[in-house]
Amino acid sequence: MNERIRRLRPYPMVELARRKAAVAARGIEVLDFGTGDPVEPTAELIRDALAEAIPLISQYPTIAGEPELRQAFASWFEARFGVALDPATEVLPSRGSKEAMFHLPLVLVDPSEDKRGIVFPEPGYPVMEIGGLYAEADMHAIAMTAENDYRMDPAAIDPEVLAGARMVWLNYPHNPTGQDLPDELWRAWVAAQEEHGFVLCSDECYTEIYFGEKPRSLLEFGREGCLVFHSLSKRSGMTAYRSGMVAGDAALIADYRKARAAMGQAQTVWVQHASAAAWGDEKHVEQRRRIFGVKRDIMTKGLAALGLEVYPTSSTFYLWVGVPAGTTDEAYAAALLEQGIVISPGSMFGQGNERFFRLALVPSPAGCKQALKRWSNV
């Protein structure tokens, strides 16, 4: 096995699935706040669109995907962010954002060049680091803490690191903390991209789950040298459909589209039809935001009553919670596991996060209330 890959920590979702199975094997009802895979049903209009599009003969999808899907995404993006995208040259479908984020460093990074660095946030989505390691990039983790409000600021990064970077990853709204990036930092990152010439990549999969002001998109501030990654997994409850979209700089999209012929395709045609229906409807998204808001209120108030500090969040369906004094994230997770409650220790998202754990607002409101009752036994 590649030595770089051998050194990786276990992938968080795999480890959480193992812990969940261990609890279920003991005959305990599992309340899973670990993996971010909500249980709310996928909207009927999406399921109907999928069923109606299943063909008599199944054939390979294309790399570029169906024009109707790219147009649906472009129309949604303009309505949501006020940015017009050319669906023919600035939009490319992927099988969820995860595989696109993993593949992109393989396309952009040449390990023989001096400019081969990847800058990424820690804590953050592990694929940002994993994809870079497979591409043999020089990896530069940027420590995100409560002291800097989990906001990535180019002014706080060594200019030599940015000068040697081929890619910089942003992730707002932020997984796992739920923080947003203020406009001045979006502008600062676009200015840094223009100065240093790296590709600025923004994971924006949680922009539609918010409880205050609407989160922004990188493409509102710049397009040249910029790419954004969107997904229907969280917005529309379509995690199993594996439906994502990459958008931005037409030249970068063209390079990535060319490379995808060897490594990926668009979703199956019937999933593309379901995805187009999802991008074209906002009612089901509003309903999902409302139910996440209810669960968020239940857990925030309940955890506070138990003496746990919930870091203030404005977006995502995650809560970033402080571990009680005198214990660690892993020890606390083990104690909760005895009660059938699965959480994500903060250290799963990178070093230096042992004082926190992440809760994904997955169980129903009734399940959240039940979990709080069990919590009092820890």
Average pLDDT, the chain: 93
CA-based end-to-end distance of the chain: 40
Superfamily of domain covering 3-42+283-375: Aspartate Aminotransferase, domain 1 (3.90.1150.10)
* pLDDT number for residue 349: 87
User: Would you say the pTM of this structure is higher than 0.85?
Assistant: yes
* pLDDT number for residue 25: 79
* pLDDT number for residue 348: 87
* pLDDT number for residue 9: 67
* pLDDT number for residue 12: 60
* pLDDT number for residue 378: 85
Same fold, 3-42+283-375 and 44-279: no
- Topology of the domain comprising 44-279: Aspartate Aminotransferase; domain 2 (3.40.640)
Q: What is the pLDDT of residues 17-44, one digit of tens each?
A: 777 787 777 777 889 998 888 889 999 9
Q: Which residues of the chain have pLDDT under 70?
A: 7, 9-13, 16
* pLDDT number for residue 174: 97
Domain boundaries, the chain: 3-42+283-375, 44-279
* pLDDT number for residue 3: 75
Q: Which residue in the block uniquely carries the two structure tokens 């409650």?
A: 341
Q: What is the pLDDT of residues 91-132, one digit of tens each?
A: 999 999 999 999 999 999 999 999 999 999 999 998 999 999
